[in-house]
Structure 1
Amino acid sequence: MSILSILIYPDENLRKKAELVSDKENLNEINIFVKNMFDTMYYYNGIGLSATQVNIHKQIITIDIDNNKIVLINPIIKNKKGYVSFCEGCLSIPNFFLNIIRYKNIEIEYLDIDLKKKKLKASNILSSCIQHEIDHLYGILIIDHLKKNK
């Protein structure tokens, strides 16, 4: 079990944009890193974690909601519909929570842990979690939604 260090706001590295994972990447290294991301996420009682939050600026996300482990590499939102609001927290901004309005239903394209192209439809909390973690890949934090929600 390897627990990675989570960047805490206002660390400027949280604002870096993550690079796409290339098909030339070492799959074994990606698998080890993803396992460490899950270990870290569970250790801190999170439901989602982006590589950006552990200072690796690659487009990799881990999510586990209701024992449904998901790995999203290079995720792209293709379709979005409706709105939903959830109270969100963030492992990089401890003890801060904010109601955020996000798309209720999304469809994404991504690569799985074996770098195979996949599609996923998500709604409600899973949709919000995916959008939250994708935001991290672009240097966007939940505090940036304060102005949008007013």
Structure 2
Amino acid sequence: MALREIIILPDRQLRLISKPVEEITAEIRQLADDMFETMYDAPGIGLAAIQVAKPLRLITMDLAKKNEEGETSPQPRVFINPEILSSSEDVAVYEEGCLSIPEYYEEVERPAKVRVRFMDIDGKVHEEDAEGLYATCIQHEIDHLNGVLFVDYLSKLKRDRVLKKFTKAAKRGGE
């Protein structure tokens, strides 16, 4: 396993639409292992492959440390080619953060429940209902695969402010 560099806003790669994983190869398994190591080191609870500059529809997630009020989610999980099949009309608000937008947190409103289909690392297809933090996290990470960031759900003023802040920081870092 190896730590990979997490790309940070305003990197344009974060806006790419990730391509489906065609086959689960040794390279895909290695990428998932590296993503877990990177995610834990950051530390975070979810990571999309695009965040380590790999535009593939692959997500790692581990909500074990963050579970609330008996929410259950099997611990370390890999989601390959995940898709949301349906969303509830009722919404939930969670404070979200992102490893690609470090140290910035805002409340985001999303569907409270979703039904998701994905393949695991062994190629088995699953369909699950997600709610609570699991629903929020899976939606956040699937958004990454579609080039969408959680700041896109904020008001224009807040979004512009955070984009400006990270653009300035990137320019200072590049000088």
TM-score by structure 2 length? 0.80
Q: Tell me which amino acid in the other structure corresponds to 1:75.
A: P
Asked if structure 2 preserves the Cα contact closer than 8 Å seen for 1:49 and 1:133, the reply is yes
Please tell me whether residue 72 in structure 1 is matched to residue 61 in structure 2. no
Decide which moves more: 135-144 or 66-75: 66-75
Aligned to 1:131: 139
Deviation at 1:115, TM superposition (A): 1.9
Deviation at 1:75, TM superposition (A): 0.6
Aligned to 2:99: 91
Asked if structure 2 preserves the Cα contact closer than 8 Å seen for 1:27 and 1:114, the reply is no
* Structure exhibiting the larger radius of gyration computed from Cα positions: 2
Residue 155 of structure 2 aligns to a residue in which SS? helix
Determine which of 102, 119, 123 is the counterpart of 1:111: 119
Which blocks of at least 5 consecutive residues in structure 2 are unaligned? 66-74, 159-175
Q: Tell me which amino acid in the other structure corresponds to 1:49.
A: L
How many pairs align?
147
Residue 7 of structure 1 aligns to a residue in which SS? coil
Aligned to 1:32: 30
Cα distance in 2, alignment partners of residues 46 and 120 from structure 1: 22
Deviation at 1:26, TM superposition (A): 4.7
* Identity across the alignment (%): 40
Which blocks of at least 5 consecutive residues in structure 1 are unaligned? none
Q: How big is each residue's C-alpha offset from its partner over 1:14-34, in whole Å with a ceiling of 9 and x where there is no partner?
A: 100000111xx3522111110
